[in-house]
Amino acid sequence: MGNIFSISISCDGILSGCWDCTVGQAAYPCKLKSNLHDLQTALEELADQKNDVQRRVENAEQQQHLKRLDQVQRWVSRVEAMEAKVSSLVRDKDNSTQKVEKLCKFGGGLFSNCKTQYKFGKKLTKLLVEVNALQRRGVFEVVAERVPAAIMYERSTEPTVGMDSTFGKVWGYLEEEQVGIIGLYGMGGVGKTTLLTKINNNFLHTPNDFDIVIWIVVSKDLKLENIQDSIGGKTGCCDDTWKDKDYLRKAEDIFRVLKSKKFALLLDDIWERVDLAKIGVPIPDRQNKSKLVFTTRSEEVCSRMGAHKKIKVECLAWDRAWTLFQEKVGEETLYIHPDIPKLAEIVAKECDGLPLALITVGRAMACKKTPQEWNHAIQVLKRSASEFSEDFLIHKRRLIYCWVGEEILDEYDDITGAQNQGYDIIGTLVNACLLEGREDYVRMHDVIRDMAMWLACECGKAKENFLVHTGAHLIEAPDFEKWKGVKRMSLMANQIENLVERSICPSLSTLFLTNNRLKMISEGFFQHMPGLRVLDLSENKGITHLPVGISKLKSLQYLNLSQTGIRDLPIELKALDKLKYLNLEFTSKLNMVPRNVISSFLMLRVLRMYDCGSSDDILFGGEESLVEELVCLKHLDVLTITIRCVSAFKRFFTSLNLLTCTQVLCLESFTCVSSLDISLLTNMKRLDILNICDCESMEDLKLDLVQDGAAAQAPNGPCNSITMIKSCFHSLQRVSVYECPKLKDLTWLIFAPNLVTIDIHDCPEMEQIINCGQLSKVEEVVEDLSSFAKLNNLILINLPQLKSIYANALPSSYLKTIVVFNCPQLRQLPLDSSASKRNIVIEGEEDWWNELEWEAEATRNDFLSSFRNLKL
């Protein structure tokens, strides 16, 4: 036998491997047709889904001026990439089908097509899974968000003298991932805000990847919704529905925007823990890499805020403090007299290293070049700041009247001179940064208030001279034992309801109880306040009566009862014979003032009775009796008054003194009067505000252009009269006309050259503001009429018959706002193309705006950005 060659091979491994390969590969070919069909269907659905999303995005971007979300853009890009990826498989359905059918044939042996079938089938299945996943991810409730006007703002600031090392430390922590919350704490005025401002500005000037930097001043009266509104405005959340949302929905909106951003939130001056979760702010941490930096006076607040780093901002060392103070005073002043450096050094030391105090006090002293002037400046500080409380705005005029009551401004016999002096003092303090001015209002920074209180007393005994608990949430007055040595007291903005204890206050000269919840003042409360000069009870709606004991305030010169619920005045008020200022404005429930009370205030300089009472019978005998009493006030310089009786109106204008001193006049509820001759008003040289309201029968406001018979007889009489009247309403700045259903025009307004605001509401028969026919007659005889040259605001609401405002284009130099609502027949505005450059805001209904006619299409286009949709 020949050689026998045999090999023993185990078949288990081979068979097992072949079976797995065969089954695994066969599973894909078996589903090739169905998977390809499913892939085509899914891709078509995904394409439809993408188109729907893109239409929503385009609508949001074009019509709502929103910006698409990053996650939406990423999804669209992935869908487009998937479409390109699949296109090679499904571009030609027939070829794909043939390929599938070819692959599905097992000709050529088990192993010849196994690998190709497996790869193609696996790829097809994977693509189908990815397409399905993209479909699931493409469901978006929101596709775009409002774009904030700016993501970072630079803020003006004082130099951070002596704070470079502290700033460097803070900025170093901001660059550490594990530090998300930083608290800066220290005493008031130490420079925390200045330091935070420098941090804010450094985000602008240093390369970083923060999406948005938000600065918010929190202050003592923490209101989460105010913080939400600030954040909402800066992140684009504030839309037309924002104001109607509660804080929970606002928090959701804020969180939705900020969770996808790297933000830096800077909170200035917090006094207690701010709950970020309630506001909607994501907690800064290592994951989101956002930052929170805040300033506070309390290290405890730093802990409650969960600060990862707490940094104390220290006062300046003496050498740096003295250098800063000298810099602000200036060498010329500092060394002009040998006594001044010593005085300056003492003042600088008393500032105790506080940068803000050093800067503001130094600036105040910079123009004081004699020791006497320095002493005078200190006296100004003593007098000017005593009434202020932190973060409270006060009207300049109100402050000046308090000074008059305190006899601080007693150089002048008339109120005008005192006002001018008061405004001059306020201007000086604002320029020296001792007060912060906002149009007609001022406020005092808390550090400057502290300094003023120190300067205002002898030997640093401010606590004995002043008692200030403004906005302290008090429900009852402080212990009356503390009142005894106090000179000036402010309990404004609390929740005090009753003043029942007798207080012995021989030194008290000023008492502010404004904006409480007063309901009752006991009879003996004012019994022992012989020196009280200023008493402010305003904004206490719950108080209906004054105690008879108020007659004990023999020194009282200033009494403010405005916006109270007072129903009557006690006859005993007559005893206040030194009264110089009495404010009864907006006391709508006042129904009785005893006869001879008003006329007994013979020293009265300011009487404010605008919107006082609800009828013409607030005095026994009606408004005519009131006018008779007003005539007796020979020293009256300022009067605001509402007149509801025609006979009182006529009597009023027989008094030259009343005509001269009236600054605000309201003519209300004139009945059975179809025409009113307002020529009488031409003699009111100081009339600032005129309101005419609720005169149902009034059809015409006449202006008698011919003043006397001689003018009428003269050939050019009317012309001369018109020229004379041209400047007769020179002081008038605001005119409001409400609810006069028969008035058709207000042409006489062309003779008020200094009007700032015109406000007309609910006059259904008003056809023209300025009658074109009458205007042309006036222009024929008067050159350079200068009508509306200073107009800021024009407000027209509910005037369904109004067709014309003014035949000429309004001067645009000062024009800021035009509001038109429910004036459907008004088709033109008195504006030309030059006004579009003045950033005028035009508010109105969108349908009305779309129907407006313009001198040219280009003019309309110029004003497109000026329009704001108004919904009342």
Contact 344, 324 (CB under 8 A): no
Q: Hunting for tokens 């202050």 — which residue is that?
A: 219
pLDDT of residue 118: 67
Residues 738-793 have pLDDT tens digits of 999 999 999 899 888 899 999 999 999 999 999 887 777 776 656 666 788 899 99
Residues 410-449 have pLDDT tens digits of 666 677 888 888 888 887 777 555 677 667 888 776 556 6
Half-sphere exposure (Cβ direction) of 359: Cα atoms closer than 13 Å: 18
Torsion, CA 51, CA 54, CA 56, CA 60, rounded to 10:
-160
E strand spans, 301-359: 309-312
**Residue 478 is inside which H or E element, if any?**
none
Q: Give the Cα separation of 831 and 824 in Å (integer).
A: 18
Chain-centre distance for alpha carbon 793: 18
Joined tokens for residue 118: 């497996």
Joined tokens for residue 55: 């239409």
> What topology is assigned to 164-312 in CATH?
Rossmann fold (3.40.50)
Joined tokens for residue 126: 């994977």
The residues, any chain, with a CB within 8 Å of residue 675's CB and separated by 6 or more, are: 698, 699, 700, 701, 702
The residues, any chain, with a CB within 8 Å of residue 102's CB and separated by 6 or more, are: none
Q: Give the Cα separation of 633 and 630 in Å (integer).
A: 5
Q: Are strands 558-560 and 520-521 parallel, antiparallel or unpaired?
A: unpaired
Per-residue DSSP letter, 153 = -
Tell me the CA distances in angstroms from 334 to 81, 329, 371, 530, one per residue in order.
Answer: 75, 7, 11, 44
Residues 637-679 have pLDDT tens digits of 999 999 988 888 888 888 888 999 999 999 998 888 888 888 8
Which amino acid, one-letter code, is at 200? N
Q: Give the Cα separation of 236 and 602 in Å (integer).
A: 58
Joined tokens for residue 134: 């993209």
Which amino acid, one-letter code, is at 427? G
Q: Give the Cα separation of 87 and 93 in Å (integer).
A: 10
pLDDT of residue 653: 86
pLDDT of residue 420: 86
Domain ranges of the chain: 13-146, 164-312, 318-455, 457-537, 747-869
Contact 123, 160 (CB under 8 A): no
CA pseudo-torsion sign 243, 248, 251, 253: negative
The residues, any chain, with a CB within 8 Å of residue 16's CB and separated by 6 or more, are: none
Contact 253, 237 (CB under 8 A): yes
pLDDT of residue 462: 47
Label residues 206-235 b or e (16+ Cβ within 10 Å = b).
Answer: eeeebbbbbbbebbeeeebeebbbbbbebb
Q: What residues of the chain score a pLDDT lower than 70?
A: 1-32, 64-65, 88-118, 146-152, 158-161, 221, 350, 375-391, 410-413, 431-434, 437-438, 445-464, 615-623, 704-727, 779-785, 872
- What single string gives the DSSP state of each residue in 407-462? TSS-S-SSHHHHHHHHHHHHHHHHHTTSSEEETTEEE--HHHHHHHHHHTSGGG-H
Axis-axis angle for helices 717-725, 772-781 (nearest 10): 100
Q: Give the Cα separation of 586 and 584 in Å (integer).
A: 7
Contact 312, 186 (CB under 8 A): yes
Joined tokens for residue 854: 């313009």
